[in-house]
Amino acid sequence: MNKKFKNTKDMKRNFIKREDNREIKEILIENLNEKSLKKSVALTGVIEKISQTGGPTIFEINDGTGNLSLKGFVSPGERAYPEIKEGDYVKVIISLEEFNGEIEGDIKKIFKKIDEEKTKLKKEIENRQRERAKVNPVNFLFDDPILLKLRNKFINAATEIRLAIFQGRSIIIRHHCDTDGYSAAFALERAILPLIEKQHMSEKASWEFFTRAPSMAPYYEIDDSIRDTAFSLKNVAKFSNKMPLIIIVDNGSTEADLMAIKHGKIHGESFIVIDHHKYEEDVISREVIEHINPFLVEESGTKMSAGMLCAELARFVNPEVKNIEQIPALAGLADRIYLENPTAVEKYLEIAKKQGYSKELLEDISLVIEYISSKIRFMEVREYIEVLFGEPRDKQKNLIELMAPFIKELDEKGLNIGKSNAKLENINGITLQLVYIEETYPGFGFFPKPGRSIGLLHDNLQYEKKLDKVVSIGVMETAMTFRATDNSNFSVHDLIKFLNEKIPEAFVEGGGHKNAGSITFLPNKKERIVELVKEFIKKRTI
């Protein structure tokens, strides 16, 4: 059954003689198509995966231009070609067939490459993968100065993402659970999935080699890292998958992310971070393949959101990516980038309007995303999220028209509940608005969530009282969420330092933007933390 060539010359030929004297051409996987069906061809590549079914043995081969499933059959459930192992470099003669609408090969002969031939083929495959991974840089949708400064980082990140796909590695996108985070992850998802499907010549491959996972915490926490790693190690053991490339978006830049990233690296995972949150010290860049953040080029992350960054990066990863033109405007509005960079948001809005997205529609979409994200929490729900982002557009329109008015009523209710229970205090000209969340709102599952509730109250107080020096705080048993105006001279990052100096036994942690963030602490220190926050605000006014 497993006959070998009579001499080594046969193995080196690009054309192999068949019994009827017709020639079998050696071909690259990327050149296979429907016209190739029913033909016999030769392939060379590396066997990346072997799966035994109740029928044939399935070998997955990668030649550097794509992956193809090959069937070897002896008898039902019997291992075909047992001498061939995962990681072997081979030459194979196959007949191309169609199965469930996808092209696969039926093995006629297979030969293991050894010594110099193996080394040569390995190098050829690596060179093909790296050549395909090279990015043909595109122009930005809008030439913002921040983007231009980050251009080389975009090219590097896109190259590494493409290389991971062509190497057959899984990709996990971890994103913050809000509109900006979802926008960032969805933009990259739209770019990556078609490349995965093309690489493996299978639409189903996008489910095996890609995962998008929301993170509730404003950083990549060790819990998420353990889950990602355990899931990946299981797939390595069970399905012979490779350890993944993990892309962290709208999170990942701070010291709070460091432990989780280092933990993943121990197990063979690699990381790319695309974020816009401020950090005290860049401890992440040396741990990851690429780190994209405006602060790395001495720009502010309040001028460019993660969704804006990732929508631009998606076009470097896959210039043919579709349905992302509206995302920068959606993310910029949701994260209030217009306060610091109105020009960028206006430019992106012009692009979105050409796709049929008005500012009002984008705001309604953001509202629905915020509500849906609070309900699905850690779930991926890929198909549902596709509808939210306009796939298809008519269903998106119907969903937004149904949900947005309902959610606005919930927001109004949450605002009125908060207003009736908020405590206002003047601290040297700064208006402090304090709301005890658990004592005020119904509890788990209530919408708006604490962060959104405080945001609504914060905006409303400025509007109703015509104030420009406001700090609004939502107090929970073990956490606080903050919103502050620029004129209040507040800083979440400076507050965390202050609290850790004053009350180290509270073990305060947190992050976010200067004027919008959150902290955690021990429950028995809550009231003391409240006192110290007031002291911090007072000191900033002197």
Global pTM reads 0.90
- Are residues 116 and 38 both part of a single domain? yes
CA distance 33 to 63: 16
* 368 touches 388 (CB < 8 A): yes
Q: What pLDDT does residue 1 have?
A: 34
CA distance 159 to 241: 21
- Are residues 281 and 383 both part of a single domain? yes
Give residue 451's identity as a one-letter amino acid code. Answer: G
In total, how many domains does the chain have?
A: 3
Confirm whether 198 is domain-assigned.
yes
Q: What pLDDT does residue 34 have?
A: 87
- Bridge partners of residue 432, in order along the sequence: 425, 471
- Are residues 117 and 142 both part of a single domain? no
- Are residues 76 and 148 both part of a single domain? no
> Which ranges in 134-204 belong to alpha helices (H)?
145-149, 151-166, 179-200
Q: What pLDDT does residue 303 have?
A: 97
> Three-class SS string for 381-450?
CHHHHHHHCCCCHHHHHHHHHHHHHHHHHHHHHHHHHHHHHCEEEEECCEEEEEEEHHHHCCCCCCCCCH
End-to-end CA distance of the chain: 88
- Are residues 60 and 174 both part of a single domain? no
- Bridge partners of residue 90, in order along the sequence: 45, 112
Confirm whether 86 is domain-assigned.
yes
Q: What pLDDT does residue 490 have?
A: 97
- Are residues 19 and 103 both part of a single domain? yes
Q: Which residues of the chain fall short of a pLDDT of 50?
A: 1-21
Query: Domain range for residue 266?
Result: 134-402
Which residue from 458, 167, 500, 132 is spatially nearest to 318, judged by alpha carbons?
132
- Are residues 472 and 397 both part of a single domain? no
Find the CATH number of the domain harbouring 438. Answer: 3.10.310.40
- Are residues 362 and 437 both part of a single domain? no
Among the three residues 125, 148, 174, which one is the final residue of a domain in this structure? Answer: 125
- Bridge partners of residue 109, in order along the sequence: 93
Among the three residues 91, 125, 159, which one is the final residue of a domain in this structure? Answer: 125
Residue with tokens 């043909």: 136
- Are residues 269 and 371 both part of a single domain? yes
Which residue from 368, 173, 386 is spatially nearest to 275, judged by alpha carbons?
173
Which residue from 111, 106, 47 is spatially nearest to 74, judged by alpha carbons?
106
- Are residues 441 and 503 both part of a single domain? yes
For 58, residues 6+ apart whose C-beta sits below 8 A from its C-beta are 49, 50, 51, 52, 69, 70, 71, 72
- Are residues 157 and 119 both part of a single domain? no
- Are residues 271 and 296 both part of a single domain? yes
